[in-house]
Amino acid sequence: MHFAKLLTASLLLVGLSQPLPAQEPEIIICAKAGDLGCVKKNVKKDKNSLFASGKNGDTVLIAAAARGANSIISYVAHEWPDWRTNDNGSNALHMAVAANHADTANLIIAFVKDDPDTNFERFINAKDVQNGATPLHLAAARCNAELYNYLVSQGAKTDITDFSGRTPQAVLALCKNTQKSSQPKKEPKNVGKSVKSKAAKTSLSSATQTAHTAQVQTEKDTLAN
């Protein structure tokens, strides 16, 4: 019994000695919540917080892009833009497109184009390290043809392949086919009326035939008499 208590106590101590999971910086939490006031408060306290990284290496701009928090993106991009990728190789444009935030993607592209320290062509065609997907691949995977065409108009390349060898065009075609096949088949209009009309015509024809047969039989009987 005494040994068991000692063992339990030692295990508890070992557990307590393990480092606690690192909490995300407050400014990243604020960006993920879309709280501009909270972001500004952190920047006022420490401007270096603009370069903070959260889980998976998410920057303030990446966290805001995933949320679709355009006000935060505008504020941070004016203060000190940080267009780094996260640990998955995704940049802010990846996150905005993946979340289907077309207006956010538009805003990010406008800022990056004006940033002399960022290679825009490399940015818009960047591949993530997980699937080799560019932002255009992600727009295609969402079947978002409007966003897809917008990215192409801004310089996104349609011939880049992901790690599965698929181009954005191939992904878009696959998505559309899948979407089409999953939709329930529509019943032709007036199909109920058509069936009823056909049944009525069949019934009428049968009745007419029966009456005609009876009339012929009557005539035969009359002739026989």
Q: Which residue has the higher pLDDT, 200 or 139?
A: 139
Q: Is residue 220 part of a domain?
A: no
Q: Is residue 194 part of a domain?
A: no
Q: What are the DSSP calls for 5-61, one per residue?
A: HHHHHHHHHHHHHSPPPPPPPHHHHHHHHT-HHHHHHHHHH-GGGGG---GGG--HH
pLDDT (tens digit per residue) in 109-143: 999 999 999 999 999 999 999 999 999 999 999 99
d(CA 146, CA 143): 9
Q: Is the pLDDT of residue 57 over 70?
A: yes
Average pLDDT, the chain: 82
Give the pLDDT score at 180. 78
d(CA 30, CA 67): 11
Q: Is the pLDDT of residue 220 over 70?
A: no
Above pLDDT 90, what percent of the chain? 67
Q: Is the pLDDT of residue 191 over 60?
A: no
Q: Is residue 91 part of a domain?
A: yes
* Spatial CA neighbour of 94 closest among 139, 60, 54: 139
Please give the C-alpha separations between residue 143 and each of 11, 79, 98, 106, 176, in angstroms, as whole numbers.
Answer: 52, 34, 11, 18, 6
**How does DSSP classify residue 118?**
S
Q: What are the DSSP calls for 111-153, one per residue?
A: HHHT-TTS-HHHHHTPPPTTT---HHHHHHHTT-HHHHHHHHH
Both tokens assigned to 63 = 């966290």
Query: Which pLDDT band holds residue 183 (cuts at 50, 70, 90)?
Result: low
Q: Is residue 45 part of a domain?
A: yes
Q: Is the pLDDT of residue 18 over 50?
A: no
pLDDT (tens digit per residue) in 135-182: 999 999 999 999 999 999 999 999 999 999 999 999 999 999 988 777
**How many domains does the chain contain in total?**
1
The enclosing H or E element of 91 equals: none
- Do residues 81 and 111 lie in contact, with contact meaning Cβ atoms separated by under 8 Å? yes
Q: Is the pLDDT of residue 29 over 90?
A: yes
Q: Is residue 214 part of a domain?
A: no
- Do residues 93 and 135 lie in contact, with contact meaning Cβ atoms separated by under 8 Å? yes
CA atoms in the 13 A half-sphere facing the CB of 178: 10
Give the pLDDT score at 53. 95
Q: Is residue 102 part of a domain?
A: yes
CATH code for the domain in which residue 84 is found: 1.25.40.20
d(CA 26, CA 40): 11
Q: Is residue 12 part of a domain?
A: no
Instruction: Tell me the residue type at 151.
Output: L
Q: Is the pLDDT of residue 89 over 50?
A: yes
Structural domain for 178, as ranges: 23-182
- Do residues 107 and 70 lie in contact, with contact meaning Cβ atoms separated by under 8 Å? yes
Q: Is residue 15 part of a domain?
A: no
